[in-house]
Structure 1
Amino acid sequence: MNKWRKFADSKAFYLILSLIVTIWIYLSVSSPRMGNTRSSSEANNVAVSNKKATINMNLQVNVDSERYFVTGYPKQVAIKIEGPAALVTATKNTQNFTIYIDLRNLSVGKHRVAIKQDGLNRDLKYTIKPRYVDLDIEPRAERTYPIQASYNAHRIAPDYQVGNVVLNPQVVQVVGARSEIQRISQIVARANLPKAANKTYQQEVLLQAVDEQGHTLSVLLTPQTANLKIPISLPTKTVPVKFVQKGDSSKTYSFSSAVQKVQIAARKEVLNQIDELELPVDVSKLGDKKSVIIKITDLNSDIIEAKPKKLKVNLKDETDQNVANNGG
């Protein structure tokens, strides 16, 4: 016991104790720090994880549009961005910035201007392509023009004819550079007819401003489309009808109908040969029928269409009357 007390009071004891405490403090402090170092390193890796993306953006033009009209610039440009992955993804999804050219301090004429951006996060690097655009600033002009229908007549089926073409609307408002407006020859609603078109064409078609050579001009049209209707049909003719008895029967009939005239559609040479339409009525299998229904196009294959298509023909047996007349 005395030896222990003597050792505890010695300088060696305190040196050993100090060494133990120092080692304990080092271990207790360095272990969490090592863990923190790893966590911090991982966090830094995440933070500096970069990403690239390319976004196609509409190009905004800042100009006095009441006085000037600008041509020659692209409608869209590409911007390549690079930076923290989360920020790049968010920017690409929201596109909460603008790409623009500022022409407000420029005069009429040709210019090369830089494309700029506004609203892009400062932590992002970016490159805009193209960096510059060549454009032309001209005085603005505005006029109203009638719309002209255009179609290829060679695409109309043989023997068919075109009726009165209908356009809705019939006029268009044109805005553009004064020089382009002055070159306008007409505003065209061009129909894309199928080959051998044999029925009415009706479509919403794009309008185009063209010069005397048929070249499309760079102007703004309001509206941009028109409803175009081109009636396509065979020639028609209205003629009286005459019913003629056909087939073997011991009876003689007279025929009548509430319809005295019909409109027929056929080739022009066919119509030229018809002044009265003879319609045969087959009496060979009438029995006791008092009327029959006949279809005009079934009786004459040269007739493509007829209005009305079918006729009700009333039958009257004239046999006894004819015998009496012959006997008298």
Structure 2
Amino acid sequence: MKKAYQSNWFSGLLALLFALLLFFNANSEGNSGNTASTSQVYDEMVYNVPVQLKYDEDQYFVSGYEDTVAVHLSSANRIQLNLETNEDTRNFQVVADLTNVSLGTTEVPLRVTGLSSAVSAELETKTITVTIEKKVTKSFEVEAKIPDSFDAEGYKVDTVSISPKTVEITTGEETMAEIAQVVAPLSNVTQSADTINQTVNVQALDSKGQVLSIENPAPQVKVTVKLSLPKKEVSLRFTATGTPPADVGSFTFDASTSVVEISGSNSVLETIDTLEVPIDVSGVRTTTKQTVMIPATGDYTIDPDEVEVTINPIYSRSGSGSSNTWTIDDSSTSVGGNGSSSSSSETSSEDESTTDTTENSEASTDQSADSPN
């Protein structure tokens, strides 16, 4: 009896030990899983973050530095990281403190401020080089800067007007002494435009034509330039379009002019010798006049831009027993009423042949009447 009691006690103790072992093992796995889930770190690289300069803007002018940097952000909190990554919701700034920096060119450190404690940041560029000068302002007369491509394309500048003609330039004291010219740089224009109207930011140039740093945004001026474009005479070629009547074999075209003048850049004019003018001949059975616009692209202009055309239908010969093929070729096009067609020539030849045969028959009859029996 004593042995049975001892056996039950031993079995119970053994079961308790197994239960405790399973309990601690399960808790250990759960804690391990929680640790793994909270240890995940998210990373984002943010580019073009503006550099904020801290200095007395009324007294000094700062130039020569990179105004944006890249920042590497990391956090275990994905939501907070997304807020700092988004430009519209971020709280941090990249700052360069120049309050105690001397005049001249020097290297200053960058630091991140305003960042959430849940996010860490590392700057890809840790310092910037700046030039600090005393701030000054001076008035300059503005000149238009014409692109070099104008000469190559054959443009001739007739008149130039700038408004306002004089602007105030703010920059550093030493930079101001280097300014040789203030210009309004024009960009390229449409190849068929004879007038340029552009509003542009002015630039300050040194004696070598290099662009100098001035206050941003720079003053703006409106520039109007009137140009003379290169011109060229080209011929017109008329082509028939549409659906003609079934019994019309061809057409001739008499035009008020066969040559027009086009204006544009040299690179465009060099590619054009002839302009094709489509003429709609649908349903045309009698001589008809049309005023036709000459097709043009935005690369050139045409003078005149329309032409009066007389359409002359030429009917097919009847009784041929074969289907007619409607064709228009260059030989059937004329200007000023001098047109001719192959169809009319063939008809004329046939008539002459018939006349000659009739005359020969009459001559033969006369000879038979005069001969002796």
| Residue 35 (structure 2) aligns with | 44
Other structure's SS at 2:212 match? coil
User: Structure 2 CA distance, aligned partners of 1:168 and 1:123?
Assistant: 53
1:154 has 2:154 as partner: no
Identify the match of residue 22 of structure 1 among 4, 10, 13. Answer: 13
State the Cα distance separating 1:179 from its structure 2 match. Answer: 0.9
Determine if contact 1:64/1:104 at 8 Å carries over to the other structure.
Answer: yes
Provide the rounded CA distance (Å) in 1 between the counterparts of 2:130 and 2:170. 18
Which whole-Å deviations, capped at 9, do the CAs of 1:259-316 have from their partners, x for residues lacking one? xxxxxx999xxxxxxxxxxxxxxxxxxxxxxxxxx9xxxxxxxx9579xxxxxxxxxx
Change (3 A) 1:35 1:75: same
Give deviations 1:168-217, integer Å, cap 9, x for gaps.
44443322211112222222112234597651122233321112221110
Cα contact 2:69–2:123 (8 A) shared by 1: yes
Correspondent of 1:31 among 22, 36, 48: 22
Q: Which residue does 1:111 correspond to in 2?
A: 106
Change in Cα spacing, 1:184 to 1:32, as seen in structure 2 (3 Å) is same
Percent identical among aligned pairs is 20
Q: Which residue of 1 aligns with 2:162?
A: 167
Amino acid corresponding to residue 84 of structure 2 in structure 1: T
Which residue pairs with 2:203 in the alignment? 208
Task: Point out where structure 1 has 5 or more consecutive residues left out of the alignment.
Answer: 1-6, 235-264, 268-293, 295-302, 307-328
Q: Describe how 1:173-188 pairs up with structure 2 within 5 A.
A: 173-188=168-183
2:57 match: 65
The residue that corresponds to 1:74 in the other structure is 66
Aligned partner of 1:231 in structure 2 is: 226
> Residues 313-328 of structure 1 correspond to what in structure 2 (within 5 A)?
none
State the distance in 1 between where 2:217 and 2:166 align.
Answer: 9
CA apart distance, 1:125: 4.8
Q: Does residue 97 of the first structure (1) align with residue 119 of the second (2)? A: no
- Matched to 2:30, the amino acid is S
CA RMSD of aligned residues (A): 3.7
Relative distance call for 1:62 and 1:108 in structure 2 (3 A) is same
Q: CA deviation at 1:157?
A: 4.0
**Does the aligned pair in 2 maintain the 1:146–1:171 contact within 8 Å?**
yes
Structure 2 Cα separation of the partners of residues 266 and 45 of structure 1: 76
The one-letter code matched in structure 2 to 1:154 is D
Q: After alignment, is 63-72 or 219-228 more displaced?
A: 219-228
Cα–Cα, structure 1 residues 176 and 223, in superposed 2: closer, same or farther, change >3 Å? closer
Cα pair distance change 1:45/1:133, threshold 3 Å: same
Whether the 8 Å contact between 1:187 and 1:210 is mirrored in structure 2 is: yes
Count of matched residue pairs: 234
Is the contact between residue 77 and residue 118 of structure 2 (CA under 8 Å) also seen in structure 1?
no
Give 1:134's aligned residue: 129
AA at the equivalent of 2:36: N
Which sits farther off after the overlay, 61-70 or 83-92?
Answer: 83-92
What do the CA deviations read for 1:26-75 (whole angstroms, capped 9, x no partner)? 44444344333323222211211223332222111111111111122210
Change in 2 beyond 3 A, CA 1:45/1:224: farther
> Residues 92, 32 of structure 1: CA spacing in aligned structure 2 closer, same or farther, 3 A cutoff?
farther
Distance in 2, Cα, partners of 1:155 & 1:200: 18
Q: Which amino acid aligns with 2:9?
A: S
Distance 2:262 2:77 in 1: 72
Q: TM-score, normalised by structure 1?
A: 0.59
Q: Equivalences for 1:290-309 in 2 at 5 Å?
A: 304=303
